[in-house]
């Protein structure tokens, strides 16, 4: 069964995933490098393995063929996700180099940048940085302090760090290996600021010395990912030629005239950042795969380790036979499967939108892809994709943090030992919740995504715009609720109150019941936000304060939306699975995930009249039963993830003292 299930999980890019698995197995020594080497030695070894992978052609898979790539964007993301089965410093360093630095050149530059830099970046000859985050500005990219001021006398931009808060911080590749940075700065032309744009700025000579005017420093030891050379960059009036501006969406001519086909500066900014959504797509997938590694280790350990047992029995019981141990691990296993399929849906959508239009090979003056520079992409689809990527990344990375911690606890003292990998997984994934976007901020972006059809009426997602939309949306929600009346009535019928004699177990494994419950919660929370915001606006309160009072509610509604998307993606995957053992196992996991999701929010459902106490107890009992049903197949279910042996054959699992 596990072979068929693994093939189904791997999907259309199975061959790519297998090649990466083989490469990780061949470089298994990197897994312990962080323990055995100095920090600089570890960083250099990570670089060496990355360059080996690059030489084999894997990292260029997603780039256009004319620059040495293979034009296979889906395969590129599949390969990147699979790297998370190994040393995560390698995955992150590859992400910085190929996803962020080379990706910025590809998506924000034009043909002259592609021809001059892209092949060297793809081949790893030009190592680069993605210099966006500043000490004083992380998520609020529009407020970055670094400036790039155009000097028409020399046809140069002057890149400068005006104050300590504008220092570029946490920048991967900056401390040791990077030679060039894609620098995001406020573009100043003719005394007018045109918002954040990206320029290519050399930061090191080929000999490794800092360029004049560039001060580089090391962020030092981190909680994890110490194989990545994160550093800080300060610019002191550094001059770069006018052509250093990545000018796909905005241009500056020799005389100092700024122009852009996107007149609205906010729209221009979000269009530029939207092309870089691949980072969030990839990080979410990597976090889900890191969860698979932890679960493989913890479930194998629990299926071998014995402790206590029935009174009078000569043999101790396996940890995984204990109900509480099942409760700790198996719902997380089911949720990992759910997120896997949600991620697969996201990647399919990403490839559909970006796969055939990744580069703009026009010259800087004379774009042909229309207002917004989106070419044949549908702007509505792209905005929806950004929201989906934000939500999946948020839930996937939070899930990794929760799962790895639970796996560590479930393995007791053995899980605390570095040799058993859970410590490294815990440390290396912790930052995933805040890089490529802080998860809380990303769920606010999800709320923006829900408003996509109304975006033109309120521009950017500021508090006023959000409030205006939600107030108008109250009417729309009322209409939608009327359309959902049949579903709601079915739910009401299925919820006995205290005096009911109806069977509380009725319909608990009904797919329509699961989907109806999570959709009801999403819709109800959105309607609640609408009412609260409208009430504040009608009372004449300050719009920012109105939004701020409701921000937790908005973010909770965004999370409820993503939970529903994940559940429906899992259900679709079950229905599409081949009949037989694969579908049977997936359906069991789906039921477990669906009911555990409802159970986790049982207080909300009780509060809003969707669950009675009796029904709530029935759900808890069924979750227990489903854990028991999944338990005999748990080893096969983690085997299907296909994690390379070196990554999970840790001392506490192989060999086992009890076998």
In angstroms, rounded to a whole number, what is the distance separating the alpha carbons of residues 290 and 397? 9
In angstroms, rounded to a whole number, what is the distance separating the alpha carbons of residues 259 and 240? 19
Is the separation of the CB atoms in 258 and 189 below 8 Å? yes
Q: Which helix (H) or strand (E) holds 259?
A: strand 258-259
Is the separation of the CB atoms in 56 and 16 below 8 Å? no
In angstroms, rounded to a whole number, what is the distance separating the alpha carbons of residues 199 and 144? 14
Is the separation of the CB atoms in 287 and 296 below 8 Å? no
Q: Which helix (H) or strand (E) holds 214?
A: strand 214-218
In angstroms, rounded to a whole number, what is the distance separating the alpha carbons of residues 309 and 326? 16
In angstroms, rounded to a whole number, what is the distance separating the alpha carbons of residues 600 and 605? 10
pTM (global) more than 0.85: yes
Q: Which of 213, 231, 216, 208 is nearest to 156 (CA)?
A: 213
Tokens of 88: 């995560």
Q: Which helix (H) or strand (E) holds 562?
A: helix 543-576
Q: What angle do CA 642, 650, 289 make, to 5 degrees?
A: 35
Is the separation of the CB atoms in 420 and 654 below 8 Å? no
pLDDT, position 450: 65
As beta bridge partners, residue 147 has 160, 186
Q: Which residues are identified as catalytic? A: 436
In angstroms, rounded to a whole number, what is the distance separating the alpha carbons of residues 524 and 172? 42
Helices (H), 200-306: 265-274, 278-302
Residues 6+ apart with CB under 8 A from 191: none
pLDDT, position 374: 41
Helices (H), 37-153: 39-55, 73-83, 88-94, 102-108, 111-113, 119-122
Is the separation of the CB atoms in 459 and 266 below 8 Å? yes
Dump strand ranges (E) for 435-542: none
Residues 6+ apart with CB under 8 A from 250: 187, 194, 197, 258, 259, 260, 262, 268
User: What crossing angle do the helices spanning 278-302 and 422-429 adopt, rounded to 10°?
Assistant: 160
pLDDT, position 274: 77
In angstroms, rounded to a whole number, what is the distance separating the alpha carbons of residues 463 and 557? 16
As beta bridge partners, residue 198 has 184
Alpha-carbon Rg for the chain in angstroms: 26
Residue 51, Cβ density class (10 Å: 0-12 exposed, 13-18 middle, ≥19 buried): middle
Q: What angle do CA 93, 94, 98 make, to 5 degrees?
A: 125
Tokens of 84: 């998370």
Q: What angle do CA 250, 254, 256 make, to 5 degrees?
A: 65
pLDDT, position 2: 74
Is the separation of the CB atoms in 227 and 33 below 8 Å? yes
Tell me the average confidence (pLDDT) per consecutive run of 10 residues in the chain, 659 residues long. 90 94 92 93 96 86 89 93 96 95 95 95 95 91 96 97 97 97 97 96 95 97 97 98 97 96 89 84 96 98 89 85 97 98 96 67 37 50 87 97 98 96 97 92 80 38 49 40 42 42 75 95 84 81 84 91 97 96 96 98 94 94 97 97 95 66
**457, 459, 465, 471 alpha-carbon torsion, rounded to 10°:** 20
Is the separation of the CB atoms in 15 and 595 below 8 Å? no
In angstroms, rounded to a whole number, what is the distance separating the alpha carbons of residues 608 and 208? 62
pLDDT, position 204: 97
In angstroms, rounded to a whole number, what is the distance separating the alpha carbons of residues 310 and 313? 5
Find the distance separating the first CA and the last CA of the chain, reported in whole Å: 23
Residue 499, Cβ density class (10 Å: 0-12 exposed, 13-18 middle, ≥19 buried): exposed
Phi/psi of residue 507, each to 5°? 75, 10
Phi/psi of residue 200, each to 5°? -95, 120
Instruction: Identify the structural domains of the chain with CATH numbers, from first to last.
Output: 1-126 (1.10.540.10), 128-263 (2.40.110.10), 445-645 (1.20.140.10)
In angstroms, rounded to a whole number, what is the distance separating the alpha carbons of residues 52 and 47? 9
Instruction: Tell me whether the omega of the peptide bond preceding residue 464 falls within 30 degrees of 0, making it cis.
Output: no
Is the separation of the CB atoms in 193 and 187 below 8 Å? yes
* Cα separation values, 79 from 71, 83, 338, 391, Å: 14, 6, 20, 22
Q: How many other β-carbons are positioned within 10 Å of the β-carbon of residue 591?
A: 23
Q: How many other β-carbons are positioned within 10 Å of the β-carbon of residue 475?
A: 10
């Amino acid at each position: 069964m596990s072979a068929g299930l693994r093939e189904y999980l791997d999907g259309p890019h199975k061959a790519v995933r297998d090649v990466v698995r083989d490469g990780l197995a061949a470089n298994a020594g990197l897994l312990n490098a962080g323990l055995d080497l100095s920090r600089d030695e570890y960083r250099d070894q990570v670089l060496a393995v990355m360059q080996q992978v690059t030489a084999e052609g894997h990292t260029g898979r997603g780039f256009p063929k004319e620059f040495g790539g293979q034009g296979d964007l889906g395969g590129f993301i599949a390969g990147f996700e699979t790297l998370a089965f190994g040393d995560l410093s390698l995955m992150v360093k590859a992400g910085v180099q190929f996803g962020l630095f080379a990706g910025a050149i590809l998506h924000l530059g034009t043909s002259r940048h592609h021809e001059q830099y892209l092949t060297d970046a793809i081949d790893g000859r030009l190592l680069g940085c993605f210099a966006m985050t500043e000490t004083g500005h992380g998520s609020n990219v529009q407020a970055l302090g670094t400036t790039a001021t155009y000097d028409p006398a020399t046809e140069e931009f002057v890149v400068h760090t005006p104050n300590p808060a504008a220092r570029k911080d946490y920048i991967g590749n900056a401390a040791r290996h990077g030679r060039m940075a894609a620098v995001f700065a406020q573009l100043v032309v003719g005394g007018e600021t045109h918002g954040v744009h990206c320029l290519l700025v050399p930061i090191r000579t080929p000999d490794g010395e800092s360029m004049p005017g560039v001060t580089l420093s090391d962020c030092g030891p981190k909680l994890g990912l110490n194989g990545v050379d994160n550093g800080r960059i300060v610019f002191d009036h550094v001059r770069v030629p006018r052509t250093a501006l990545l000018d796909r969406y905005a241009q500056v001519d020799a005389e100092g005239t700024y122009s852009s086909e996107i007149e609205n500066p906010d729209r221009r900014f979000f269009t530029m950042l939207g092309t870089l959504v691949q980072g969030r797509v990839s990080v979410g997938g990597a976090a889900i795969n890191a969860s698979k590694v932890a679960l493989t280790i913890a479930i194998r350990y629990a299926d071998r380790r014995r402790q206590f047992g029935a009174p009078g029995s000569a043999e101790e019981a396996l940890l995984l036979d204990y109900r509480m141990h099942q409760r700790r691990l198996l719902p997380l296993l089911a949720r990992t499967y759910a997120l896997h399929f949600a991620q697969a849906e996201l990647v399919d959508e990403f490839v559909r939108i970006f796969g055939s239009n990744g580069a703009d090979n026009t010259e800087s003056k004379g774009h042909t892809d229309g207002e917004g520079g989106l070419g044949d992409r549908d702007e509505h689809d792209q905005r929806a994709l950004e929201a989906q990527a934000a939500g999946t990344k948020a839930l996937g990375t939070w899930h990794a943090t929760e799962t790895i911690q639970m796996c560590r606890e479930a393995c007791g003292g053995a899980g605390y030992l570095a040799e058993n990998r859970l410590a490294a997984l815990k440390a290396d994934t912790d930052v995933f919740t805040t890089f490529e976007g802080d998860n809380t901020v990303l769920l606010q972006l999800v709320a923006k995504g829900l408003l996509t059809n109304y975006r033109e009426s309120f521009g950017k997602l500021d508090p006023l715009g959000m409030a205006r939309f939600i107030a108008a949306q109250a009417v729309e929600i009322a209409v939608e609720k009327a359309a959902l009346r049949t579903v709601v009535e079915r739910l009401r019928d299925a919820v006995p109150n205290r005096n009911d004699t109806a069977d509380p177990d009725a319909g608990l494994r009904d797919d329509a019941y699961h989907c109806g419950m999570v959709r009801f919660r999403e819709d109800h929370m959105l309607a609640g936000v609408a009412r609260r915001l409208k009430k504040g606006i009608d009372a004449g309160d300050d719009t920012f304060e109105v939004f701020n009072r409701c921000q937790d509610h908005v973010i909770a509604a965004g999370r409820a939306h993503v939970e529903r998307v994940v559940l429906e993606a899992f259900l679709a995957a079950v229905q599409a699975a081949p009949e037989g053992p694969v579908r049977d196992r997936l359906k069991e996991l789906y039921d477990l995930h669906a009911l555990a999701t409802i159970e986790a929010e049982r207080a909300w459902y009780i509060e809003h009249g969707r669950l009675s106490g009796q029904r709530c107890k029935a759900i808890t009992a069924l979750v227990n039963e489903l854990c028991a049903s999944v338990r005999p197949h748990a080893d096969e279910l983690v085997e299907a993830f296909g994690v390379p042996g070196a990554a999970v054959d840790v001392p506490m699992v192989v060999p086992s003292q009890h076998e």
